[in-house]
Amino acid sequence: MTDLVGYETVDGTAIISVSHPPVNALGQQVRAALISVFARADSAADVHEIVLLGEGATFPAGGELAELDSPSALAEPHLRDLCTLVENSEKPVVAALHGTVFGGGMELALAAHYRLAQRGTRLGLPELKLGLVPGGGATQRLPRLVGAPLAFKMLLDCAVFVVDRAPGQSLVDGLCDGDLKQAALQFCQKLRKEAAGPRRLSDLRSGFDDMQAYQGAVAERRAAVKAGDEAAGRIIDLVEAAPLLPFEIGLNMEEEAHETSLSSDAAKALRHSFLAEHRARRSPAPVPNQDATAPEIKVIAVLGAGPLAMQITVTALNAGLGVHWGAHEQGPLQEGCKQIREIFENGIKKGGLTREVADQRLARLKTGESAEMVEGADMILHAARGQGNVPAPRHMVRAVAMAAPVDALGLRFAPPVFATKLLEIVQGPNCTPHQLAAAQALAKVLGKVPVVVRSTGESIAGRLSAALQRAADGMIDLGANPYDIDAATLAWGWTKPPFQTRDTLGLEALATASRGEGAQNWSAQLVELGRKGWVSGAGFYDWGDGGAVQSDAVPRLLNGTRAPKDWAQEDLQHLLLAALANEGTRLLTEGMASRAADIDLVSLLALDFPKEHGGIMKTASQIGLFKLFKLLERVRHPDRAFWQPTALWPDLVKNGCSFDDV
């Protein structure tokens, strides 16, 4: 334990350093070690000041995520205990900050009496992204320092501030350019010379000076909080209480709210999705040869014109890559370049892009005949048909980026490419470790979340999307109303209801999808009647200037072919989820997906499944596999190939497992 926290004294100043790479997380053992070492410094007669700092890349950057779902999450000493000990010291405590001071690290810094930061240090409180209320006093100390409006930006918006400029500067007492440790020692000498003692935020009330603005911010935030977002609501309550109640009472309220949020389903789901993305970025999937070296990707050749190629090109330019964009016909290519320039011009007009940066990005774009564009590239992406025979050096990695069969390596970008994070890496039957490593390297450069899929061209997103539509049509077959199905998904927080989304995309694109025995493709039925979706003014909905309106004609059509049935909203939600989770079990048993968490990631990033539910498989586990398994067994639909639960369900149920174990 003592290896986690170092201790030394220099000219009467104690230096306590956390050494727990990579981010010096404040797990239970680190907290215990810090308390022990801090108590030593606090009681030492020859120590006049105490400096807290982090070794390596950063000051402590939050808690130990792996502990949040273990008994250690509530094990003593708590973060509150550490922060209280630091704040109550009779000796000046200086937090020497660098790197990313997030979460529990930020709360520890607020408990210190002074904060000295290296330039470029980033400060943040991202707990709400994990469905959590802070537990180290942030809701009580931060408003006392900066008031409610700015405190809410950190606590509710999870804004990250850089200390070099406002408002980040208001959170620190000084900046340094050079050696942080030496700067902290000099800062302490200055405090000693000036006889400056502890300065506790618990005693500060300057953040309450403008109570009208303070209470206005509370009211504004309370009115804007989403229904069901309990953690956000509790944070607002706690900030509101800060000027009204004694500090210790506020801390007690925060601790209770923190512990409650820690065990909530929403927090567990958000942690699951966060960790799934974290694991995917660090290790997308087991690589057959871990020694395969990834090539350095600086320039890519995008072959083929069209919307997909254009979006990939923009994404690569934004990520700092050089792009050689080639096509056999130069007309469509030039039209694509025109669209790229328009995208950058719009970015300049909106203030998100400067002229200088836009020009730098365009300068990295080279266009021409496909064969010429291969030269000098590190990797080739086939983004349109007709480019497969373009010659290239044998060692160069080629990836099929469009919807097409994949023999070796494929890439499936979630649309629109420049606005989404997901990149499915299709590992075909003849994919080499080197090719897979190259795809993972490209995903990292582009800032994408990579999910490896073993297939000959299919993607997890494609399979889930098809299953969603097949299930929705099947539920109509079973008597459900499409508007009730859409309402159920919206009530669940899913902002892409299946039938309204179909209309927006156009029903003709879905009309050719196959259905099993006895099942209807209801998109095809409506297309035959001239109802093609939004583009024709009518689909499942009637479309006008006011948007989508429920149609009287569609229920009459449906009721003429099957008997209507009233469904409880929860039953609609659970059946739709069960069908999607059943498709997920097929992906796992077929070997397309390596882990259930990957399916969850795809459902979140490609299907916009509500993040607070954690993904399709996570939600199924929380509702209960036995319950959903029995629900699927009770479905009386002739399309048994789709609705019949796979063998994975009873195996997991029998062994008391969930999809978290897969």
DSSP assignments along 127-189, one per residue: GGGGT---SSSHHHHHHHHH-HHHHHHHHTS--EEETTSTTGGGG-SEEESS-HHHHHHHHHH
Q: Taking all residues of the chain, what is their mean pLDDT, rounded to a whole number?
A: 93
Q: What local confidence, expressed as pLDDT, does residue 73 receive? A: 67
Angle, helices 616-623 vs 625-634, to 10°: value is 100
What is the rounded CA–CA span in Å between residue 468 and residue 396?
Answer: 38
Question: What are residue 309's phi and psi, to 5 degrees?
Answer: -60, -40
- On the question of pLDDT at 286 being above 60, the answer is no
Separation of alpha carbons 34 and 27, rounded Å: 11
Q: CA–CA separation, 141 vs 161, rounded Å?
A: 17
Pair of tokens at residue 479 = 């008597």
- Which amino acid is located at 354 in the chain? T
- Greater confidence (591 vs 388) lies with 591
Tokens of 113: 């009496």
Q: Calculate mean pLDDT across residues 603-624.
A: 94
d(C-alpha 440, C-alpha 433), whole Å: 11
pLDDT at position 275, please? Answer: 84
State which H helix or E strand residue 239 sits in.
Answer: helix 230-241
Please, which residues bridge with residue 116 across strands? 96, 174
> Right CATH number for 2-262 from 3.90.170.10, 3.40.228.10, 3.40.50.1820, 3.90.226.10?
3.90.226.10
The tokens of 77 are what?
A: 């000493």
Q: How far apart are CA 456 and CA 266, in angstroms?
A: 36
Please say whether the beta carbons of 365 and 337 come within 8 A: yes
Q: Which fold has domain 464-662?
A: N-(1-d-carboxylethyl)-l-norvaline Dehydrogenase; domain 2 (1.10.1040)
Residue 550 has pLDDT above 50, yes or no: yes
Confidence at residue 661, expressed as pLDDT on a 0 to 100 scale? 85
- Cis peptide upstream of residue 307 (ω within 30 degrees of 0): no
Name the pTM for this structure: 0.85
Place of tokens 């498709």: 583
Indicate the pLDDT class of residue 227, thresholds 50, 70 and 90.
Answer: confident
Q: Is the pLDDT of residue 2 over 70?
A: no
Q: Where are the domains of the chain?
A: 2-262, 299-458, 464-662
CATH class of 299-458: alpha beta
- Give the rounded distance of the alpha carbon of 321 from its chain centre: 24
Would you call 40 helix, strand, or coil by DSSP? helix
pLDDT, tens digit, for every residue of 162-208? 999 999 999 999 999 999 999 999 999 999 999 999 999 999 999 99
pLDDT digits (tens, 9 = 90+) for 436-483: 999 999 999 999 999 999 999 999 999 999 999 999 999 999 999 999
